[in-house]
Amino acid sequence: MRKIKEKHSLAMRWFHWVNFPVLTIMIWSGMLIYWGNDVYTLSIGGHVFFKFFPEGFYRFFHFSSRLAEGMAFHFFMMWFFFLNGFLYVVYSIISGEWRNLFPEKKSFKEAWLVLLHDLHIRKTAPPQGKYNAAQRIAYSAIIVMGFGSIATGLAIYKPVQFNWLCWLCGGYHVARIIHFILTLGYVFFFLIHILQVVLAGWRNFQSVITGFEVVKEPSAETVPPVTETPIDDGNAN
């Protein structure tokens, strides 16, 4: 027996698909700004392993010499990023959807099992609700990161008017570094996220557009009653 299973509410789909392009524009315009003082490196003991960013990277994306433009876009789009994120959090709290998302005590232990399962080291994954343990942690972390980006962003945007916030973020200098690292975090998240979505398949992906998934329900006639189906209801991402 097939069945329509409601998965993602309209609000959640809206927040997700608004956030994606808006965050992309924020990162793009952020890069135009970062170019103005691109001093960050990955270095240990004075040895520079990587410079953010190599010249060819700027050239490829046309990031160079566009600081004013970057600031103008960044300080316009920030409102949409903030508003969408704010409404998302409010909605999650009011609707109770946060319960699906917030890591539980066991999530931290289970996340490893999920990882091992995803890496094909372990055959089975722990039973899950809408999201598995690793997803709960990753998606909640993204929300915390969003808060972080807004807080550090505001701290470097108005460090005098919000001097208390700037102080909380470790000062202007540190706040800019955190703001940058969080951005790297989004890009890293995005890469993993895309990989997981591809692996989870079309059925899972389209549910983020339609809101539902068609699931096979084991009925008494077709399936013997005592079956432990290994979880694979396309919930991977």
Partner 1 sequence: METPIDPEQNPEPEKPAAKTPEQIAKEQDALLDAQIKRRSFIAFGTFTALGVAAYGSWRWLLKSPDEVAGVTAGAHAPLRRALNKNELFFRKLFYNEKHLVRTYPKEMAAKNVRVNSDEGLKTKFDPAAWVLQVKKKSGEVLKITIDEIRALPKTEIVFDFKCVEGWDQISHWGGLKFSDFIEHFGLQEEAKLEYCGMETPDKQYYVGLDMPSVMHPQTMLAYEVNDKPLPLDHGAPLRLIIPVKYGIKNLKRIGTINFSDQRPRDYWAELGYDYYSGL
The residues, ordered by sequence, that sit 6+ positions from 72 with a Cβ below 8 Å of its Cβ are: none
Site for partner 1 in 87-146 (CB under 8 A): none
Helices (H) and strands (E) in the chain, counts: 9, 4
Spatial separation of the C-alpha atoms in residues 39 and 180, rounded to whole Å: 11
Q: How far is the CB of 71 from partner 1 (least distance, A)?
A: 7
Closer to partner 1 by Cβ: residue 139 or 212: 212
Mask for 1-30, x = binds partner 1 (CB under 8 A) = xxxx------------x---x---x-----
Q: Which of 102, 116, 142, 159 binds partner 1 (CB under 8 A)?
A: 159
> Token digits for 158?
């108005």
Q: Smallest Cα–Cα separation from 34: which of 188, 185, 186, 180?
A: 180
Q: Which stretch binds partner 1 (CB under 8 A): 116-124, 140-148, 171-179, 225-233?
A: 171-179
Based on CB atoms, which residue is closest to partner 1, 100 or 210?
210
Which x/- pattern over 25-64 shows residues binding partner 1 (rule: CB under 8 A)?
A: x-------xx-xx-x-------------------------
Strand, helix or coil for residue 62: coil
**Shortest reach from residue 107's CB to partner 1, in Å:** 30
Collapsing DSSP to helix, strand or coil, 216 comes out as strand
CB nearer to partner 1: pick between 144 and 223: 223
Q: For residues 120 and 118, what is the distance between their CA atoms, to the nearest angstrom?
A: 5
Q: Which is nearer to partner 1, 12 or 133 (CB)?
A: 12
| Binding of partner 1 by 72 (CB under 8 A) | yes
Number of residues that bind partner 1 (CB under 8 A): 38
Quick one: 95 or 163, whose CB is closer to partner 1?
Answer: 163
Count the Cβ atoms, other than its own, within 10 Å of residue 219: 11
Three-state secondary structure of 115-177:
HHHHCCCCCCCCCCCCCCHHHHHHHHHHHHHHHHHHHHHHHHHCCCCCHHHHHHCCHHHHHHH
- Residues in contact with partner 1 by CB under 8 A are 1-4, 17, 21, 25, 33-34, 36-37, 39, 67-69, 71-73, 75-76, 158-163, 166-167, 171-173, 176, 206, 209-212, 214
